Amino acid sequence: MAIGVHFRLLGPVEVVASGVRIAVGPPQRCTVLAALMVDAGRQVTVETLISRVWSDGPPERARRALQAHVTRLRRTLEQAGALGGPDAPLARRSDGYLLGVEPERVDLHLFRLRLRQARQAAPTERLRLLRDALELWRGDALGGLTGNWVERTRQDLHREHLDAVVSWADAELLAGDAAAVIGPLTESARRDPLLEPLIAVLMRALYAVGRPVEALDLYGATRRRLVDELGAEPGAVLRRTHQGILRGDLDSGTRPVTWQPSVPAVVPAQLPIDVRDFCGRGDELSRLDDLAEQSRHHATAVVVSALTGTAGVGKTALAVHWAHRVRDRFPDGQLYVNLRGFAPEGAMDPAEAVRGFLDALHVTPQRVPSGLAAQAALYRSMLAGRRMLIVLDNARDSDHVGPLLPGTPGCMVVVTSRNQLSGLVATGSVPLVLGALSPGEARELLDRRLGSGRVAAEPDAAGEIIERCDRLPLALAIVVARAATHPRFPLHALAAELRAAHDRLDVLTSDDPAVDVRAVFSWSYRTLTPEAARLFRLLGLHHGPDISAAAAASLAGSPLPEVRSVLAELARTHMIIERLPGRYTLHDLLRAYAAEKARRTDPGAFRGDAIRRVLDHYLRTGYAAALHLHACRDPITLPEAAPGVVPEILLDHEHALRWYGAEHAVLLGAVEQAVSAGFDTHAWQLAWTLTDYLDRRGHWHDWIATQRAAVTTGRRSGEPATEAGGHQQIGHAYIQMGRFDEAHVHLDQALALYHQAGELPGQGQTHYSLAVLLGRQDRHREALEHARRCLVLFRAADHAHGQALALNTVGWVHAELDEHHEALVHCEQALALFETIGDPHGQGESWDRLGYAHHHLGHHTEAIACYEHALNHLRRLGDRYWEAGVLTHLGDTYEAAGDLRSARAAWGRALGILSDLGHPGGEEVRARLAASRPST
């Protein structure tokens, strides 16, 4: 019997004194105790306790109710101490409470201690410690309690329990007792059928006791669930376990599997450039340091939900500066995104942010499921077991960041927002409200950037500057930049200019205490050269998170060298920020001020011309990039470029991809701006330039969004062919996402509109998409009809590339129907056309399909020659995915010809490429290699 007072929350919440359970009271009081127990030995603020206990919204007298619960809990603990001594005092602190008990007397903390000890222990001792840890569990954590914080904590503890179960099962297998784990693991798998490490260790246990068929059935069921529910294939460890069982060489006992999600070889480091001469905010930095330390052992990912405060108060600067200070504590990387919650053009969609993080984590497009929920689940899986720092900047509200929050301990999230994110606070995150700098901190900022001697010489003037800037860092930075640029200007003269600016400015009616910072903007704006002032106003018209120097030159209609010097002036005065070399952005307040100045200063025609120029810039550069990706696309007629447009020169395919990567978000904004500003031709043509890039990168949601613009503008301008093109592209995007019913709807609309317009190539392209769609649904006879119709239409239009595409498609569908002679006829015709046109990619595809048909006709020598031709074309283009497919087919043919060594070599090269790409098709190639081992 344990002596002393102990606390339990791994089951119903209990206080136990020398083996005797002490009644705690009603559920709400149990929640108060649990909220203290998870931080035993550490102070918990009153605000945090209230948010945990009343997470659905505190009552009016929440503090009084909390005090009443604490008073009764003290009596309970005194009673427990009398029975079991020593007692566990519940002490009041200045702004919270502290449960004065050693963490090891709380079952949760003892559980975690045993797990830490087990990681360092020898195998036999490790097994004992893991058994001891799991024996502490008496059911679901926080049993019988309800509320958002309770549910979130319960889920996180459940994940910790599952991790411990997997570790224990590994240890039992290592000790040779596989039978002991099958029952518990089977029960856990019923509750969590998608937890891959759990499924993998259960498969190993079944294999170890002579039940390999059940292990394989379990893998099959799990894979179907993963594909159906998450749109993702099993991870590497689960696949290796499966292959080991298939080969009969799985070492189930001596090599315990530690599951790791697919982690990139390059650790993401996305933090923006640190703030130069950062000063002040000592209390906030210390609080963040404390939270980072707590996150190592916290039950959930720590979310600093409210680095909140008014615009210009320095939230982003603090978050980025602190993140740079502690990045070494997060060895698995740092993720950053500006959610643009208050940007004039609208906030970033959470789906875009999740997808950006998956890209940073090197998740290939083929592994990204469709739908935000599934993508967020994959993102959380990628973070599981990692120690990463995530900075979510400029969030609009709590819902804006929900999909971006990790689900397991170890990660820390810092969120900045102008709004109080009460929804996050209610779930247990920690608020930090940021106010203006203190007078001392503001004076330190002036000392550092202007020199203490200059400030000390004019203390009154320095004080006036500080107060007229409302002690806001953004305003002070602008004023200091002006003073630093003119070191001989006395501070009292600068203060006088600023005083006059305040007197002259018509302050907007607002309850925002930061509006008076407009006076600082106005004063600094008037000090700019005319060229810089003009460009600053124009930047307020630009949609998108940032802008390149070349795009700024087009916006201004000026030569690039001149604009570079103007941008440098704006950066020196802190009116813009050089976020990355050659890319510039504005603070939201400055962007709004710039747009206001443009509306008040520049005629509408002047503003419209600038918008036209920058849209021309993106359209002409994007058109060149699109042709680098697909040289044989049907050309479109671009509107004549306005004078002063400076398109970027893209040298090759790789250069085009880099440009698309840098401008992705900007281009999406450009499409939206073109629609809203009435530039309909620019809108649909910009969408056209993005098609291949968005498809190949797997940004299918963005593909759909941009093509909706084509539908809108085509309908608005009465151009059915443009509207049809948008529907056709949306339909093909839905095919890629596996949403076949929606694809059918859009493709049918496209076909009707193309008929109305009498546009034969468009009808042919739509029938091609329908053939692809029906082929994906294994409706090959129907697919063949559409492929044939596609061919008829392209012939009627005398469209050579379309005919080649159609012939190749007809041939491929014949091959799927085992009609290989017909496949040869059509693919040979397609090849001849592709050669005439000069489309190397089309030639590579045709040679591959010819090889496939020859293989199935038993013409192995001819098939091998076809595949070698295909590889020559595709390697020159750098299309590694198609190259892997051809190598797989080549290996199949070598195997059929009896040359197993060459077959394995081809499959090995294919597997290497697919593994590099993270493509799930590698599983089939790996199975071929396993089945072809000489021992079998």
d(CA 546, CA 560) in angstroms, rounded, equals 17
Question: Which phi and psi angles does 56 have, rounded to 5°?
Answer: -85, 5
Residue 183 lies in a domain: yes
In this structure, the answer to whether residues 343 and 452 fall within a common structural domain is no
In this structure, the answer to whether residues 86 and 146 fall within a common structural domain is no
Give the pLDDT of residue 174: 87
Give the pLDDT of residue 929: 81
Q: What is the per-residue pLDDT across 485-541, written as a single tens digit (0 to 9) for each?
A: 788 888 888 888 777 755 443 333 233 333 346 666 776 788 789 999 999 999 999
Residue 449 lies in a domain: yes
Q: What is the per-residue pLDDT across 685-726, written as a single tens digit (0 to 9) for each?
A: 999 999 988 887 767 888 999 999 999 999 999 999 999 999
- Contacts of 183-190 with C-beta under 8 Å, sequence gap 24+, read 188/162, 189/218
Among candidate residues 433, 461, 492, the one where a domain is terminated: 433
Residue 853 lies in a domain: yes
Give the pLDDT of residue 539: 95
| Secondary structure (H, E, C), 382-404 | HHCCCCCEEEEEEECCHHHHHHH
Residue 729 lies in a domain: no
Q: What is the largest CA-CA distance in the chain?
A: 96
In this structure, the answer to whether residues 319 and 203 fall within a common structural domain is no
In this structure, the answer to whether residues 429 and 443 fall within a common structural domain is no
The pTM (predicted TM-score) of the whole model is: 0.59
Position 272, amino acid? P
* Sites in the chain below the pLDDT cut of 50: 1, 253-265, 299-301, 503-516, 935-936
Give the pLDDT of residue 297: 54
Find, among 52, 48, 36, 39, the residue nearest to 432 by Cα.
48
Give the pLDDT of residue 232: 64
Find, among 731, 777, 775, 785, the residue nearest to 753 by Cα.
731
Q: Name the domain count of the chain.
A: 5
Give the pLDDT of residue 261: 37
Burial class of residue 656 (count of CB atoms within 10 Å of its CB; 0-12, 13-18, 19+): buried
The CATH number of residue 77's host domain is 1.10.10.10
d(CA 540, CA 592) in angstroms, rounded, equals 7
The tokens of 704 are what? 């759909």
Q: Given the DSSP bridges, would you call strands 334-338 and 302-308 parallel, antiparallel or unpaired?
A: unpaired
d(CA 454, CA 449) in angstroms, rounded, equals 10
In this structure, the answer to whether residues 313 and 413 fall within a common structural domain is yes
Is residue 746 within 8 Å of 770, Cβ to Cβ?
no
In this structure, the answer to whether residues 390 and 413 fall within a common structural domain is yes
d(CA 850, CA 866) in angstroms, rounded, equals 6
Residue 81 lies in a domain: yes
In this structure, the answer to whether residues 429 and 479 fall within a common structural domain is no
Among candidate residues 58, 89, 120, the one where a domain is terminated: 120
Where residue 277 falls (left for φ over 0; alpha for ψ -120 to 50; beta otherwise) is: left
- b/e for 392-409, b at 16 or more Cβ within 10 A? bbbbbbbebbebbbbbbb
d(CA 846, CA 820) in angstroms, rounded, equals 14
Residue 14 lies in a domain: yes
In this structure, the answer to whether residues 390 and 496 fall within a common structural domain is no
In this structure, the answer to whether residues 844 and 894 fall within a common structural domain is yes
In this structure, the answer to whether residues 207 and 349 fall within a common structural domain is no
Q: Given the DSSP bridges, would you call strands 412-417 and 431-433 parallel, antiparallel or unpaired?
A: unpaired
Residue 599 lies in a domain: no
In this structure, the answer to whether residues 148 and 103 fall within a common structural domain is no
d(CA 889, CA 869) in angstroms, rounded, equals 13
Name the DSSP class of 415: E
User: Which range of residues forms the domain containing residue 92?
Assistant: 5-120
Residue 50 lies in a domain: yes
The CA-based dihedral angle spanning residues 919, 920, 921, 926, taken in that order and rounded to the nearest 10 degrees: 110
The tokens of 837 are what? 């046109």
Give the pLDDT of residue 151: 83
In this structure, the answer to whether residues 156 and 92 fall within a common structural domain is no
Among candidate residues 433, 459, 478, the one where a domain is terminated: 433
Q: Given the DSSP bridges, would you call strands 547-548 and 583-585 parallel, antiparallel or unpaired?
A: antiparallel
The CATH number of residue 855's host domain is 1.25.40.10
